[in-house]
Amino acid sequence: MAVPVAPDQAVIALGVMSTVVAFESGRATSSKMGLMRERVREAMSTASPGHGIATRFLLAQRNSKDASAVDAAALAENATHGDLLFVDMPERFYLCAWKKVLWYRHALRHFPAAGFILIADPDAFIQLNHLSEDLRSVQRLIDRGAASAHVHYGLVLWKAFYNAVSEEPAVDFSGWLCDDSGALRLRRRFERCRDVLRNASATAPERPEWLLPGKGADSAYDAWAEATLQPLKGCKGLQRGTRRALERMEASSGPYPFTSGPLFGLSRPLAELLAAPGGPADEWRRRIERTQPLRMYFSRGFRIPFTLRSAACYPASFDATHGRWVWELARASGFALDVTLVNTPFMVQHHPWLSFRHGAFSNASLVLHELKNPSSPGWAFAAARGSGPFVPFERGCGPCGAPPAGASRGAQGMGWVTAEHGREPNPSL
């Protein structure tokens, strides 16, 4: 078994999201999460020495006021492995994103040599040696000035809009490319649909206070909006949540980037900015606790509203919420803050699902996601396929949607580039 990396020797700190209690929504059990931690440990134990990655499983207390209020089994597990971190928060369905902030704050204090602080999902195989080599190459780019000291690292995707009422990123998928072209097309379509609703607002029933399915006036608004948009190409058939969000799209921002959940992170300087008290994450928590779903949740004695029980977390896209915090840091600086998005290319380094053929895990790969079953054959498949010397990905510094000369479409570079091919520009980091 691999020797754990000491905190003062770690050049990379990796926090793996986990839990010792069942989620309030019932989507995961504590016993299954324990089996998943064992599987992740087993996968990582084959890494050769020298990778410099210290790993911690991020768990919340049952009660944030009592540091000992955790399962005896979890305490025994930690006594054996020493890799559980009990962050000072309750395991609440709306605090999934907040756990990331507490991890950054802990890692910045306790891993003084870590140049990158990463976060991973509990159902992901991560090839530590490959990840270490890739991040060392990113550090070399920083050292020679080819990348900013403020790096946002992972599979770069885009959201078409952010809803400032519900504090939710758009749920609609904008594509797997790391440029903003898909999100910008989606945003423009939503704006056209929004304008139709606004022009017809004189006949509209009262608009719902929140965006989830409901009864009474909510149902009347849904029927009106669906009928109003039905004749319009590109507007009919929208999801109910999207229809309700159209008039609440934040006007001051277009599409914004984020890094996909199974494995992403920040360079230390950017993590320091994001985790600073009073920053965008703190403000987000204050805002989200004032939303209608959470006011209902608190008033009912911490019972999850029925219409939120199908999701483990609210907002569901909490990796996109994390990306929004980075965007808000840039906006607060007047977009003077220089942030480099370093993409881990889709189905090259980053594999969102298991594939045995096209886009299969290889020695160029870093992470394989969606291994939700501890007995999935994907664990052994990824371990065998990624056991050889790392095949590095040569990143360029041009548009992240434009491959280097002679490369495949999957070989995308890095950076945040908009206004390409006549598209309207967004504020640029």
Tell me how long the chain is. Answer: 429
DSSP of 385-414, one letter per residue? HT-S--------SS-TTSPPTT--TT----
- Domain coordinates in residue numbering, the chain: 12-159+258-315+338-386
CATH of region 12-159+258-315+338-386, choose from 3.40.50, 3.30.1380, 3.30.2310, 3.90.550: 3.90.550
119 pLDDT more than 70 = yes
If you average pLDDT over residues 168-195, what whole number do you get? Answer: 87
Q: Where are the beta strands (DSSP E) in 140-186?
A: 150-159, 162-163, 168-169
Beta bridge partners of 68: none
| pLDDT at residue 131 in the model | 97
| pLDDT at residue 415 in the model | 43
Neighbours of 230 (CB within 10 A): 10
| pLDDT at residue 287 in the model | 92
50 vs 9, 53, 349, 363, CA distance in Å?
A: 10, 8, 21, 18
354 pLDDT more than 90 = yes
135 pLDDT more than 80 = yes
Contact assessment for residue 354 and residue 368, using Cβ atoms and an 8 Å cutoff: yes
414 pLDDT more than 80 = no
126-130, 168-172, 225-229, 415-419: which is most confident? 126-130
C-alpha 353/C-alpha 175 separation (Å) is 15
285 pLDDT more than 70 = yes
Neighbours of 428 (CB within 10 A): 13
- The pLDDT tens digits for 389-405 are 999 998 865 544 443 33
Of 273, 277, 259, 11, give the one whose Cα is nearest residue 120: 259
C-alpha 102/C-alpha 109 separation (Å) is 11
- The pLDDT tens digits for 213-223 are 444 556 788 88
> From the centroid of its chain, how far is CA 146?
25
232 pLDDT more than 70 = yes
Average pLDDT, the chain: 83
